[in-house]
Amino acid sequence: MTVGKKIALALAATSMSFSASALGRASSPPRQPPSARPNILLIILDDVGFSDLGAYGSEIHTPNIDALARGGLRYNRFDTKAICSATRASLLTGRNNQTVQMADLASHRRAPDPTDDTKYKGVLPDNAQTLAQALTAAGYQTYALGKWHLTPRWEGGPGAPAGDPGGKKTSWPLQKGFGHFYGFLGGWTDEYNPRLVEDNHPIPTPTTPGYHLSVDLADHAIADVDQNARSGKPFFLYLALGAGHAPIQAPKSYIDHYRDTYSVGWDAVRAARFRRMKQIGIIPPDTKMHAREDGDAAWSSLDVAHQRLYARYMATYAGFLEHADAQIGRLVDHLKATGTFNNTLIVVLSDNGAAGEGGADGGFRYPYNDKTPFAERLAHIDELGGSSTEPLYQRPWAMASDAPLRRYKGWPYSGGTRDPLIVTWPDRITDRGAVRPQWVDAIDIAPTLLDVAGTHFATSIDGVKQIPVAGASVRASFSSGTAQAGRSIQYFELRGSRAIRVGWWKAIAVHQRGTPFSDDPWQLFNEQADFGEAHDLSKECPQKLDALKAAWWEEARKYAKPPLGEPHHR
* Preceding peptide of 244 cis, ω within 30°: yes
**Rounded distance between C-alpha atoms, residue 71 and residue 431, angstroms:** 8
φ, ψ for residue 181 (rounded to 5)? -140, 140
- Whether 84 is catalytic: yes
Least Cα distance to 217 among 326, 316, 142 occurs for 326
Query: Which residue out of 61, 108, 149, 257 is catalytically annotated?
Result: 149
Secondary structure letter of residue 420 according to DSSP = E
- The region, left, alpha or beta by phi > 0 then psi within -120 to 50, assigned to residue 184 is beta
Report whether 492 contacts 82 (CB < 8 A): yes
Half-sphere exposure of 342 toward its Cβ, with a 13 Å CA cutoff?
13
Report whether 79 contacts 86 (CB < 8 A): no
**Rounded distance between C-alpha atoms, residue 205 and residue 364, angstroms:** 22
Distance of CA 186 to the CA centre of its chain: 16
Residues, the chain, total? Answer: 570
**Rounded distance between C-alpha atoms, residue 336 and residue 560, angstroms:** 44
Query: Which residue out of 61, 84, 306, 511 is catalytically annotated?
Result: 84
**Rounded distance between C-alpha atoms, residue 416 and residue 490, angstroms:** 15
- Whether 541 is catalytic: no
Distance of CA 433 to the CA centre of its chain: 21
**Rounded distance between C-alpha atoms, residue 209 and residue 215, angstroms:** 12
Least Cα distance to 347 among 93, 75, 41, 47 occurs for 41
For residue 386, give every residue at least 6 positions away whose Cβ sits within 8 Å of its Cβ, in sequence order, or none: 192, 249, 252
Torsion of CA 94, 95, 101, 107, to 10 degrees: 30
> What are 418's strand-pairing partners?
79
For the chain, how many helices (H) and strands (E)?
13, 17
Task: For 397-411, give the DSSP string.
Answer: HHHHHTTTSSS-TTS
Catalytic site positions: 84, 149
